[in-house]
Amino acid sequence: MDLRIPERPIDARTRVIEPHGEIDLATAPNLKAALDAAMDEGARYVLVDFADVAFLDSTGIGVLLSVERKLRTRDGKLIVVCDEPLIRRVFEIGGLTDVLNIRPSRRAALSAAGEFARASQP
């Protein structure tokens, strides 16, 4: 299955990445490229909305963890939107729900991004 990855800015510091399809060894580099592009454009808060992701393997998780580390060094956050029980279970089994700031809806993720931004202001 192909992976499409639309991206849209919310504001100057926040981007939403919306992968559609399967994230595996073959498609994870495309996800990484989209996330890197968002960071290169200045995004500090990157939301990855998994609403239309049918499959996620360890390669995709590795991409998310790598991006989360990069964002953390920039005082940013990766926030994952995931309410699909099977994919959410992958994050739970790996103990990643807090590390990847998993939220059940885009609204909750945008709220979290706003809270993170306010907390990082002096």
What is the spatial distance between Cα 11 and Cα 3, in angstroms, rounded to a whole number?
A: 25
Q: Is the full-model pTM beyond 0.95?
A: no
Residue 21 resides in a domain: yes
Containing domain of residue 43, as a range?
A: 3-115
> Does the pLDDT at position 1 exceed 60?
no
What is the spatial distance between Cα 122 and Cα 107, in angstroms, rounded to a whole number?
A: 25
Query: For tokens 């996620």, what's the residue?
Result: 56
What is the spatial distance between Cα 44 and Cα 66, in angstroms, rounded to a whole number?
A: 14
What is the spatial distance between Cα 47 and Cα 23, in angstroms, rounded to a whole number?
A: 16
Residue 121 resides in a domain: no
Residue 12 resides in a domain: yes
CATH number, domain with residue 25: 3.30.750.24
Instruction: For residue 17, give the amino acid letter.
Output: I
Please answer whether residues 57 and 89 qualify as being in contact, where contact means their C-beta atoms are separated by less than 8 angstroms. no
What is the spatial distance between Cα 87 and Cα 100, in angstroms, rounded to a whole number?
A: 13
Residue 19 resides in a domain: yes
Relative to beta strand 77-81, strand 102-103 is parallel
Residue 67 resides in a domain: yes
Residue 120 resides in a domain: no
What's the number of domains the chain is made of?
1
Residue 55 resides in a domain: yes
Please write the tens of the pLDDT for every residue from 20-76.
999 999 999 999 999 999 999 999 999 999 999 999 999 999 999 999 999 999 999
